[in-house]
Structure 1
Amino acid sequence: MTAPVVEQVVDTDRYPLDDPGVVAGARAELAESGCCVLADFIRPELRETLRREGADIAPMAHYDTETVNAYNIPVDSDLPDDHPGRRTMVRGNAFVPWDRIPATAVINKLYRSPVFQRFVADCFGLSEVHELADPLAGLCLNVVRPGMAHPWHFDTNEFTVSMLTQEADDGGVFEYCPNIRSADAENLADVRAVLDGDTRPVRRLALRPGDLQLFKGRYSLHRVTEVGGETQRHSAIFAYSERPGVVGSPARTRQLFGRVLPVHERRPVRGDDLLD
């Protein structure tokens, strides 16, 4: 994807992707709270296209309502009774995999853009980012139906890039606890407190379609609250890695997409020793 095409998709008058000031602002927010939202990142005239393209593929989402914990590990894992991994929740969100998203879709064009990838790397202070080698998880659409939620969890990746494409009539609020754990410390007591109802560390975001969210979700507990009304909540998840060749584990891939491919039999070693 060439720079002129990016300029057709992104409101580059508001967010010049090569502007050091835009990058510095994003870095400062990520350093402070682990989260940065670039409001109205997509050009206004494309927001209805963004919504419609997501709505068109949403029926292909894999639904698998299940009981989970914040670490996405088996709920019957051998853990102490007071461990937060013992707190279970119902996960009701669904995912449309990358191989079901048309190459012409706005989110697919943006995901594969070297210019956009360079911008993402700069914002996170990385030398470069790579598209996942995973044909299912590289880019996906997260679908939350009315009455469902994406409960408290940590991300597998150290950084996450996402964009709301359709907002719910009610609910569907993104909530997170900035840096509640680190690469060196699980901080189980703090995590357990939030799961038990402590709202003091919780921040809430009022996201709108076309907003770009940069997030360090590996260290910040987060969720999407229950969706109300009649309209589904849709968001695109742009999955990148610092290393080439990254794919999801077979178990996690089957959980999210309902199927695995031969490529999922290989998996790179993690960069930390956190529970998930």
Structure 2
Amino acid sequence: MSDLLTVLDYDFMRRALLAAALVGVAAPLVGTFLVQRGLSLVGDGLGHVALAGVAAGVLTGTAPRWTALVAAVGAALLVEAVRTRGRTGGDVALAVVFYGGIAGGVVLMSLAPAGTTTNLEGYLFGAITTTSPGDVRVFAVLAAVLLVVVTVLRPWLFAVAVDEEHARAAGLPTRALTSALAVLTAVTVVLSMRTVGLLLISALMVLPVAAAQRVCRSFGPVVVAGSAVGLVASVGGVTVSAAAGTPSGGTIVLLALAAFALAVLVGGLRRRGLSRSWAGTATRGARP
């Protein structure tokens, strides 16, 4: 315990924990709608496109987080345009973007100057302890934007996520709403890439939500519980990684996975208890 408290004496660890808290709350918030729409892996596709944006930023001397944001937002809108206007399904559109992002990232990384490979690996696997004060400010702004937009649009985003056709028939601007969700997803990907890495982004967006769904029965509690699990997993993962010397991204995801396993166990026990209670009630009711 004393070692963990000593770690907090360092500025870089305090920044890392703050960044982890922001990401841990924001990622599951957006991930809830993706899981509801059956697009749990969309973060992977956008993550690989964001990698191409990072590489482009390194090559051009531009801040990688901004070039990654532009690339991810453009790819997210492209996926929605192909899905809604063409005959290509959402999974095929995502695959096209996914493989295009990988190819572009690999080619651009090969052109990167010597000595930048390690920097790119930080975006791939996460390097939260290198978070600068400027990064924290950017994280705070992006997280605040996500929170405000999701809070304002939540009823309409929920309607589209549950049944897009019914929402369209009800007169909702479904195209604008799905595009907004795509942009929010892209922002979440860029927000999370320094924390868990582009290869593990989807895990932080999906696993806390999946855990919450196992123990919560309605959408509202799932949103709150998912963000709470993400917060605990992110802050706990950074703390454990600092003490154990493990990569922060992988540690965060493993904690989220442990939370999911625990939720599955609790949910199973709860259903078994309800089943036994119902069976007992039925048996008593059947007595003369």
- With the shorter chain as reference, the TM-score category is under 0.3
Which has the bigger relative contact order, CA under 8 A and spacing at least 6?
2
Greater share of residues in strand: 1
TM-score if structure 2 supplies the norm length? 0.25
TM-score if structure 1 supplies the norm length? 0.26
Greater share of residues in helix: 2
Larger Rg: 2
